[in-house]
Structure 1
Amino acid sequence: MAAFISHLTIDCSDAYSLSEWWKPVLGYVDVPGDPNLPGHDECMITDPDGAGVNVLFIEVPEGKTTKNRLHLDLRPRADLRDTEIERVIAHGATVLADRRGKYGPGSGWVVFADPEGNEFCILRSQAEVAEQAASEDAPA
């Protein structure tokens, strides 16, 4: 037997506010029948399609002090990477590092921080990855 990931937990200072910030980034919603409310010290959000891992925000007394040892790598569901990057910047994400083009044209990602400083990355969409692979396989 093997285990599976039930949910990903993110420590934070304000569980409600951070869960509200992340919902539009991920396209997630509150767990049906268990709404998150201001003042809750634990707030879970879920993928409405049931395809993604639930994310639980739990308030802790200490603040973030170093780089996360675990972070989210996100792929756009429908848009292109650069469109998604502009969307999360407009939503208030902070750019920490721009690694686009690191491995050649069209490659790479951007590293961001959420309002509490938790790092996450935006990668290319599956369509962009497939398009690049197809162009590399095409005869010259």
Structure 2
Amino acid sequence: MTSTISHTTIDCHNAYELSQWWKPVLGYVDVEGDPNEPGDGECMIRDPETGHQLLFIEVPDQELPAKRIHFDLRPRERDRDEEVEWLLTYGATQVADHRGKYGPGSGWVIFADPEGNQFCILRSEGELAAAAAP
């Protein structure tokens, strides 16, 4: 049972400006149907060839954390909550729980690996598809 990297997240002070700066450096583009706009607190860009995505997300802290880049993982074979339970038994340390942040079924859980590197567990592709179904 594994997870896949959904995207790489970069904590920052200005998500729009930083995403715009990186687009020409990497040859990335806005996600189709989700253009980045000035003032957006979260801006995703993607590689048009590989599909790899970078998410720039604003954090309120004046001082940015030393570990500003982390993986956002999407479970392959379990749903988010099952993956959370498995990670707890595997030895990951739960840092914060943001399940339900944007309503029922939304959100993520932040974990740290044995050396303190943080990563997030998102909802699975199946959960996303079920939420989007009419």
TM-score, normalised to structure 1, is 0.50
- In 2, Cα distance between equivalents of 1:67 and 1:100: 25
**C-alpha distance in 2 between matches for 1:89 and 1:72:** 17
Give the CA RMSD over aligned residues. Answer: 2.0
Q: Measure the CA separation in 2 of the matches of 1:75 and 1:101.
A: 16
% of aligned pairs identical? 59
Indicate the residue corresponding to 1:101 in structure 2.
Answer: 100
Q: 1:88 and 1:110, CA in 2 relative to 1: closer, same or farther beyond 3 A?
A: same
Q: Distance in 1 between matches of 2:89 and 2:73?
A: 17
Question: Using the alignment, how far apart are the partners of 1:26 and 1:81 within structure 2?
Answer: 10
Q: Which residue is equivalent to 1:89?
A: 88
- 1:72 match: 71
SS of equivalent residue, structure 1 residue 75: strand
2:72 counterpart letter in structure 1 = D
Structure 1 runs not aligned, ≥5 long: 1-23, 28-52, 54-65
The equivalent of 2:120 in structure 1 is: 121
- Aligned partners of 2:94 and 2:111 also within 8 Å: yes
* Partner Cα distance (2:70, 2:110) in 1: 10
Q: Which has the higher contact order (CA 8 A, sep 6+)?
A: 2
State the TM-score, normalized to the length of structure 2.
0.52
Q: Matches of 1:107 and 1:129 in 2, distance apart?
A: 9
Q: Give the aligned partner of residue 36 of structure 2.
A: none
CA distance in 1, matches of 2:98, 2:66: 17
Unaligned runs of 5+ residues in structure 2 are: 5-51, 53-64
Runs of 4+ in 1 over 2 A off after TM superposition: 24-27
